[in-house]
Amino acid sequence: MSHSDFIVVGGGNAGCISALLLQCSFPNKKVSIIKSENIGTVGVGESSTEHFAQFCNTCGINILNVILATKATFKSGVYFKNWSDEDFMHVVNLDNVNQPIGHFFPYLQRVVAHNKPNREMNIYGSWDSKVPLKFFNDMNNSPTNQFHFDTLALNKFLIEKCIERNINIIEDELTGAVLHPESGNIVSVNGETDKYSADFFIDCSGFSRLLLEKTLGIKWKSYSEYLPLNSAIAFATDEMEEYNMYTKSTARDYGWSWQIPTQGRTGNGYVFSEKFINETQAHEEMEKSYGHEIDVAKTFKFDPGRLEKAWYKNCYAVGLSQSFVEPLEATSIGSVIQQMVAFIHYYPSNSIDECNETVNGIFDNIFDYVQAHYLVKKEDTPFWREVKNDLKITPSLQNLLNKWKKRFPLVGDVFCRWGMFSEVNYIIILQGLKWFDSEKVMREYKNIEHIPVIDWKDTCDRCLSMGHKNFIKELVRIHNLNKEN
């Protein structure tokens, strides 16, 4: 029987990210990953939030190497098509927040008050899929801190990083676990070829939830009454003629579809409500929309929610084994990172209750924000009519909406330690859905309209730039030339 300080169960992206963060934070501890080749990953495209760049910085991982190795493209945000009368994009320009004390969002407030086109909520370059050439001056720099990956390539890259950092990779199929008869802690996990003991276990076993739920009996808390979707199909299509600089989310008859550009092919999926259609009908709807046959790589059903406790005894659940909302806004990788950052801070003091409270808050922060996307006015199908008229709102989101019906969002309205979304994220989505009452916002804005604000112009028109795809291909070409030389 081999022993480690930490054993991470699961060798997917969540497991690798967790192991790398543990190794970085506790360099004197032995970290092992137990993974099975029988558990596959569908490499049809995955999208990140800005937290992935922070993870790379923390772990000393070069972003350029990530782009080259994972068939990545740049992501400035999420483009929402057909969700409202006017398409919009969720892109946060940090300069919007750098305003005088007391008035943090005057630029965004002006856009809402004057009911300006949604395009004016963001830097125009983010819509146009162009990359300034100045980024070639620093090959380690990146024009964005969010990315699109080929999931399989990302997993291969992260596994290689784990091996480089002396994280022990064990190939085995787990069959069970042994609990201490008195403490109830996990003593070891059993594989087909050996037994593995550890002081602490990280459950990254995905929807299987092998340790926290199946072994330790922590119950799943469903949030299905608050979200309308519960099924998805995923498939790949040919490489785009031009890479979008964004993840594209298109409202469909019974849900929404995603489109993620990567080098070589495009990742796609359709998230839908099984109350209205089944997988076959979803497949047919996508083929009709795309105009050709598609090969579905994976289908899955999900129950949105979380474990009642992420940390119990000597085990901590991360990623899909701890919670799942839906793919909207690509929160999967970011939430893994934030959950692990929380754990790393609380682990030395064994602050289990505080950690669980924080992790539940991270989930609720994500869930409320995702649910806010369904505050739609569209009702062109029975599905969207039901969403508009009958969707049950979480109490925490309803509390925010009640405030914002009276006034514009303020800094501090949304507070969550290591949360992924704040007031500025809500402003962009709610304005895109035309949720705000522009007349009320105008009355409020008139009191601060004297404050100078940034008037965004198309930054790509003010500097030399090239198309997103050409930029990526040039990066790859220069890298290959440097390798040859």
pLDDT above 50: residue 460: no
Distance CA 381, CA 253 (A): 6
Q: What is the pLDDT of residue 170?
A: 96
Does any domain span residue 324? yes
- In tens, the pLDDT along 118-143 reads 988 887 667 888 887 777 666 556 78
Q: Which residues contact 470 (CB under 8 A, 6 or more apart)?
A: none
Report which listed range, 128-132, 329-333, 400-404, is most confident. Answer: 400-404
Domain that holds residue 360: 2-73+147-223+308-366
Tell me how crowded residue 243 is: count the other CB atoms within 10 A of its CB: 25
How many structural domains is the chain composed of?
1
CA 283 – CA 273 distance, rounded (Å)? 13
Tokens of 55: 């993870």
Across 42-48, average pLDDT = 72
Q: What is the DSSP track for 41-101? A: ---S-EE--THHHHHHHHHT--HHHHHHHTT-EEE-EEEEESSSSS-EEE---GGGT---T
Q: How far apart are CA 28 and CA 20, in angstroms?
A: 13
pLDDT in tens, 291-303: 999 999 999 899 9
Q: For residue 473, is it within any domain?
A: no
Residue 62 lies in a domain: yes
Residue 57: predicted pLDDT: 94
Burial class (CB in 10 A: 0-12, 13-18, 19+), 49: buried
Look up the CATH number of the domain holding residue 334. 3.50.50.60
Amino acid in position 261:
P
Q: Is residue 203 a contact partner of residue 212, using CB atoms and an 8 Å limit?
A: yes
* Burial (CB count within 10 angstroms: exposed 0-12, middle 13-18, buried 19+), residue 449: middle
Instruction: Say if 219 falls within a structural domain.
Output: yes
Nearest to 316 by CA among 1, 21, 3: 21
Q: Are 259 and 248 in contact (CB under 8 A)?
A: yes
Question: Is 280 contained in some domain?
Answer: no
Give pLDDT tens digits for 227-239.
999 999 999 999 9
Q: What is the mean predicted confidence (pLDDT) over 52-72?
A: 94
Which pair of structure tokens corresponds to residue 362? Answer: 């991270």
> Is residue 101 over pLDDT 90?
no
Q: Tell me what the mean pLDDT of segment 160-184 comes to.
A: 96
For 356-381, the pLDDT digits (tens) are: 999 999 999 999 999 999 999 999 99
Q: Is residue 12 part of a domain?
A: yes
- Please check whether residue 326 lies inside any domain of the structure: yes
Report which of 223, 212, 36, 53 is spatially closest to residue 143, judged by C-alpha positions.
53
How much is the average pLDDT of 13-25?
A: 97
pTM of the model: 0.94
Residue with tokens 């772990």: 59
Average pLDDT of every residue of the chain: 91
Residue 390: inside a domain: no
The yes-or-no verdict on residue 428 having pLDDT over 70 is yes
Residue 75 forms beta bridges with which residues? 146
